[in-house]
A = this chain, B = another copy of it.
Amino acid sequence: MPTIREVAAHAGVSPATVSRVMKGEVPVSADTRARVEVAISAMGYAPNAFARSLASNRLEGVGLVISHLAGPFMGRVMMTLEATLRRANVSLLVASGGGEAAREQEAVNFLLGRRCDGLIVHADALSDETLTALATTTPLVVFNRRVPDIDAHCISLDNEYGGYLATRHLLDQGHQSIACLTGPLRQQDAAERLAGYQRALHERGIPVDEQAIIEGDFTEQGGEQGMMTLLAREMAVTAVVAGNDDMALGAMTILRARGVAVPRAMSLVGYDNEACARHVVPALTTVHAPLEEMAQAAAERLLKLIAGASLPASTPFMPTLIERETVGPWRT
């Protein structure tokens, strides 16, 4: 693999000139440029990324910190991130932190030690303060979360609206008594979805019954537990909005076991539009997040941030309702 000095010798110019040609910015006369370009392609020259990074102190790569790599949509997100970044010739380094704050912090440090040009963080466990501090140090985009003081760094989903959408859909079908199986309420997304649920009820003048709100943990077991608790309370509930699809799936398992027909006796709405949602029987009505667009926006925003731009806050992305088979009309 030839070095820049060999190329320079071959083209009869200095290494500095070759470097200038490679970057294409600084003024170089047309014929010198041509001569160098010929030498470059003749010798198959590709600059050494290390030397370049050392001299310029930039990696030309960004880090991705992820809580749950194995989560149901990380694949879709990463796919788009990677494609968008690679188009800009920026590589993607991945570190995961299994949802524990300490390990997530460690992942951040690991990537920072690699002198990433920027970071995309998709993590629950890191605190708002940590992220705010990080944003002052390094180009940062926070994925699927809003951190108040650094709006411009956040790519988020309007979870409140999603919760509202799901609930309103049930109300529109005539349901009056609707329960909510939430995720862990210390997590922002779970709390927001619940808020949307409450807003929809208020809007129709239906009082929120605390007994109908059950906090879970976004897992399938949590959904089962929650549904069992709900049934045990023997309320007149005719529909449930679940914190996410996993919980909805768990709930469906219990309903099936107890012989409660979905959607005839009980309607159900999920959230996330996982791959499974389409396949269950009956197919799950759910709220869809435009993950690909969000991922692309995240990558583009980070690239701009790295380039030194100062951006306005991004508007949250809007979820949409996917109607399938788990919601039916209710006539009192």
* Chain A contact residues, CB within 8 Å of chain B: 46, 48-51, 53-54, 57, 59, 61, 69-72, 74-76, 78-79, 82-83, 86, 91-96, 107, 110-111, 113-115, 249, 256, 274-276, 279-281
Contact = CB atoms under 8 A, between A and B. Distances in A.
A93 B114 CA distance: 12
Contacts of A95: 82, 86, 91-92
B50 A115 contact: yes
Contact of A71 (B48, B51, B75, B274): B75
A279 B249 contact: yes
Contacts of A69: 75, 78-79, 82
B110 A91 contact: yes
Contact of A61 (B93, B96, B107, B281): B93
A110 B94 contact: no
Most chain B CB inside 10 Å of its own CB: which residue of A61, A79, A111, A249: A79
12 contacts: A61-B93, A70-B76, A70-B78, A74-B75, A75-B75, A79-B96, A86-B95, A86-B96, A91-B111, A92-B94, A94-B94, A275-B275
Nearest to A109: B46
Contacts of A107: 86
A280 B92 CA distance: 35
A275 B75 contact: no
A103 to B, nearest CB: 10
A50 B48 contact: no
Contacts of A82: 69, 94-96
A91 B93 contact: yes
Contacts of A280: 279-281
Given A50-B53, A51-B54, A276-B279, A94 B115 contact: no
A107 B82 CA distance: 11
B93 A93 contact: yes
Given A74-B75, A78-B69, A82-B94, A49 B114 contact: yes
Nearest to A71: B75
Contacts of A94: 78, 82, 91-94
A249 B280 CA distance: 10
Contacts of A51: 54
Contacts of A70: 75-76, 78-79
Nearest to A79: B69
A188 to B, nearest CB: 22
A256 B281 contact: yes
